[in-house]
Amino acid sequence: MAAMDHQDAAALLAEVREVRHRARARVHGGVWLPMVAIAALLLASSVLYRFPFSEPPPDASSVGSAVPSWAGLHDVWTVSAPASYAYWFLGIPALIAAIGGWYALRARRVGMRLRWQWFAAAGLGALALEAVIAAVPVQYNAPDVITDHGNLRTWLTPLWPLVAALIVLGFAERSRGLVVAGAWVGVVTGWNCYFGGYGRIPGWLASVLGGGGPRLGGQVTLFGLDRPGPVLILAAAPLLVVAAIRTPWRSIARGGSRSRPGGPAPDAPDAPDATDAPDAPDASDQGDRA
Amino acid sequence: MTVGDGAHPTAALNDTVHHRYRLGILAILDEATECTFIAMRDQLGLTDGNLSRHIRVLEDAGMVVVRKGYEGRRPCTWLRLTPAGLTALREEIAALEQIVARVKKA
């Protein structure tokens, strides 16, 4: 091979980076929709609670400790356990199927495919695993099972399959923002599972924030409320922010991306094999020995 | 091929990969699981024949896998990067970066 000077190498590297950048924008230009859809599912789950954005009236009757928490977050004022169960166990598979359809549509439109099936496997697999664990018969005599951190059932919530799906999708989409947003949903979920409530913090953190005092723990509230609604907003917010950043606004305004400018001919045959008569070689082939 | 101590970085350049369009093919395939022939052609601005020739070279070298299928009723050719192709791409990029870095050091 002829010696290559640094200018040629630099130019070639710049070309490769440009090609890679354009390809990346094309193949990952659809990640915004799954993020918005999952955030919408999270936020819409606020209807599973009787008082998602307000304090329960003093005379409101609760349904008792809800373990597993099929509404998503631990709350004693859920509307209906069967409704919560149906929402997630039908909603998550339907959402994953819809997102799969989105990726299939994008593959047809832009001509590039992503390995989104791992995202589906992670979400559905985690959901199935939770259903199996929840079906294991147990006997409960503990009066306050929500705070029984050592019991696996206190950690069961349909939010974990969403966490798994988001993180795996983040890797498939090569989006650090999505991975972090998914992990954040996990942090909020784990926080809620561990403390069995909204916004509770350990004593050491309360001392740090409060500048001293008894280490009995404390409470942080969102918008002045310790209710599921603000917690769901807190969990979903990073997803929406990353989705807004990743949305190809200009492409959407132009009517979406296509494989070629002006769109493909509807019945254009696929490209011929290399055994067909070759075209004239391009200029960069001069000196190519392959 | 990797550069040993003292060897010039151009020794690490791969004849098969060291071509702007073939590098472009590998770079595009590194970003997606699969890419159609038409999408590849449009992104690189090549003719069907030229692209076919470069893909045949890469396929013969075991760097790209060609899969023919259908999208509805339309025949479609999908291209996928192999592990060997990914390795070759990364080694080529590393060798090019070394060439540039040597001049910056000097």
Instruction: Write the DSSP assignment of A121-177 as a string of letters.
Output: HHHHHHHHHHHHHHHS------TTGGG-TTSGGGG--THHHHHHHHHHHHHHTT-HH
Residue identified by tokens 């791969």 is B14
Q: What is the share, in percent, of chain A residues with pLDDT greater than 70?
A: 66
Pairing of strands A112-113, B34-36: antiparallel
**According to the model, what pLDDT value does residue B59 have?**
96
Locate tokens 């070279």: which residue?
B57
Instruction: Count other C-beta atoms under 10 Å from residue A116's C-beta.
Output: 24
pLDDT higher than 50, residue A276: no
Kindly state whether B3 is in contact with chain A, defined as any CB-CB distance less than 8 angstroms.
Answer: no
Sign, CA torsion A61/A66/A70/A76: positive
Q: How far apart (Å, rounded) are the C-alpha atoms in residues A135 and B101?
A: 60
Where does the pLDDT of residue A80 fall: very low under 50, low under 70, confident under 90, or very high at 90 and above?
confident
Does pLDDT of A225 surpass 50? yes
Average pLDDT score over residue span A93-121: 94
Q: Is A115 on the interface with B (CB under 8 A)?
A: yes
Q: Does A273 touch chain B (CB under 8 A)?
A: yes
Confidence of residue A211 (pLDDT cuts 50, 70, 90): low
- A238 phi/psi in degrees, rounded to 5: -60, -35
Judge whether A166 is closer than 8 Å to chain B, CB to CB. no
- pLDDT of A260 > 60? The answer is no
* A159-203 pLDDT per residue, tens: 999 999 999 999 999 999 999 999 999 999 988 887 766 666 666
Phi-psi group of A2: left, alpha or beta (phi > 0 → left; psi -120 to 50 → alpha; rest → beta): beta
DSSP A12: H
Mean pLDDT over each residue of chain A, to the nearest integer: 78
SS3 A212: coil
**Contact (CB, 8 A) for A119 and A162:** no
Contacts of B102 in chain A (CB under 8 A): 6
**The pLDDT of residue A176:** 94
Interval A281-288 mean pLDDT: 42
Please give the pLDDT value at position B71: 81
Q: Look at A146 and A26; give whichever has higher pLDDT.
A: A26
Q: What is the ipTM of this complex?
A: 0.85
Mean pLDDT of B30-35: 94
> What pLDDT band is residue A37 in, cutting at 50, 70 and 90?
very high
| Mean pLDDT value across residues B6-24 | 78
Smallest CA-to-CA distance from B27 within B15, B17, B13, B14 is with B17
Mutate to test the interface with A, among B17, B29, B31 (most CBs of A within 10 A): B31
What pLDDT digit, counting tens, does each position of B45-102 carry? 999 999 999 999 999 999 999 999 988 888 999 999 999 999 999 999 999 898 888 8
Mean pLDDT over A147-161 rounds to 76
Distance from CA of B6 to the nearest CA of A (A): 16
A137 in contact with B, Cβ within 8 Å: no
- Yes or no, beta carbons of B52 and A15 under 8 Å apart: no
Round to whole Å and give the CA distance between A75 and A192: 10
Mean pLDDT value across residues A87-103: 96
pLDDT at A150 over 70: no
Which pLDDT does position A100 carry in this prediction?
96
Q: Is A274 helix (H, G, I), strand (E, B) or coil?
A: coil
Task: Check: CB of residue A218 under 8 Å from CB of residue A210.
Answer: yes
Intra-chain end-to-end CA distance of chain A, in Å: 11
The Cα-based distances of A22 to A11, A198, B35, B44 in angstroms read 17, 44, 13, 10
Residue type, A72: G
| pLDDT score for A251 | 66
Mean pLDDT of A242-260: 69
Residue A61 three-state SS: coil
CB contact under 8 A, B100 and A13: yes
Q: How far apart are CA B94 and CA B15, in angstroms?
A: 15
Residue A44 or A216, more confident: A44
Using the structure block, give the residue that is written with the tokens 């050091």: B105
